[in-house]
Structure 1
């Protein structure tokens, strides 16, 4: 399946290895927002990442609130179902654009980071599988809302576990992806990388 070593897989690593951090050490996060080369494309991309983080928290909170009795069945279903659908669709599309368009540009621009993009592409496969599991357990959970309380509780537990696992993976992936890509943009500039072409 993947040529990424186990210790660099999404569920094992605690961050990017040292040999992939040379640009983020030159351009640490503290300088990103004020850097002249952080253009519109990068700002939009970072905003999308923030949206995924916020939606993850909202979904996790809604499941928790339902399980603790803070949300009734109908309120929970009305809140959760459309947001989960939007989250899954948007994240899948976001990864496709990165894999097909952006990653090849960055790999060409900074060949020493190829291993990093292999790691990120592998992450996308792992996250896609987690998205499928999230969709399946969420569908089961929503169907179980009209069944007995033990069935609802079991389905809620399964949904919460898959959601928590996805959030942990996504949090690690987004941070590593930003640490790899944003410094390349700051180092070269969006125009030089060809990111602003129609």
Structure 2
């Protein structure tokens, strides 16, 4: 039986994991949020934009606006930066913030555990991106460079859903917590 809370299966969080969202709903996430919460949202928006940039590059290549060399020269550095930033972000969350958050607010502990589990799934997504990017880089001069570029584009496209789902779900747990109890996390 498939896990309904698996990152690839869920369409959102169950209500019991969104308990703090009632006190700080998304429609109230404005400039009155604490600096830490605004920073968290900015980081997440940066990941969304970075992924969209990579997807746009592969779309431009598929539409003939870039040759394979042009795609490589623009996409590989962007991919490296994306992988490094997201991996670093997740390491800090899993190693420092998530344990502290679960201690500060036990009602969100199961949601935090789910987010931490998501990181394992996303690590595989990042590994797939790395391997596809490396394949393009290593085979750029070969006869199958176009196939390698297409595979990388496909991997970037498949990465969008789990990354977006995780970021959205994480925000629904973490942002209200920071708004309500962020001073206890320092």
- TM bin, normalised by shorter chain, reads over 0.9
Which runs of 5 or more residues in structure 2 are unaligned?
Answer: none
Instruction: Give the whole-Å Cα distance in 1 for the aligned partners of 2:105 and 2:132.
Output: 40
1:83 and 2:78 equivalent? yes
Aligned residue number for residue 23 of structure 1: 20
Is 1:130 aligned to 2:121, yes or no?
Answer: no
**8 Å Cα contact 2:139-2:148 kept in structure 1:** yes
Structure 1 residue 67, shift from structure 2 partner: 2.0
What residue is the counterpart of 1:10 in the other structure? 7
Q: Distance in 1 between matches of 2:156 and 2:162?
A: 10
Q: What is the aligned partner in structure 2 of residue 161 from structure 1?
A: 154
Alpha-carbon deviation of 1:11?
A: 0.2
Gaps of 5+ in 1: none
Secondary structure, in 3 states, of the residue corresponding to 1:10? coil
Which stretch of the first structure deviates more once superposed, 76-85 or 65-74? Answer: 65-74
Assess, with a 3 A threshold, how the Cα gap between structure 1 residues 94 and 194 changes in structure 2: closer, same or farther. Answer: same
Q: Which residue of 2 aligns with 1:139?
A: 134
Give the Cα separation in 1 of the matches to 2:153 and 2:81: 18
Q: How many residue pairs are counted as aligned between the two chains?
A: 185
Of residues 106, 115, 140, the one that matches 1:111 is 106
1:134-177 per-residue CA deviation (whole Å, 9 max, x = no partner) reads 110111123333222xx233222321221112121110000000
2:38 matched to 1:43? yes
Post-superposition Cα deviations, 1:15-67, rounded to whole Å, max 9, x if no partner, equal 111111221122111111143xx222221121111110000000111112112
Distance 1:154 1:77 in 2: 13
Tell whether the 8 Å contact from 2:101 to 2:185 is kept in structure 1 after alignment: no
Is 1:170 the counterpart of 2:167? The answer is no
Query: Does structure 1 conserve the Cα–Cα contact (< 8 Å) formed by 2:104 and 2:185?
Result: no
Aligned to 1:186: 179
User: TM-score, normalised on structure 1?
Assistant: 0.88
2:51–2:160 contact (8 Å) kept in structure 1: yes
In structure 2, the partner of 1:92 is 87
Confirm or deny: 8 A CA contact 1:67 1:156 kept in the other structure: no
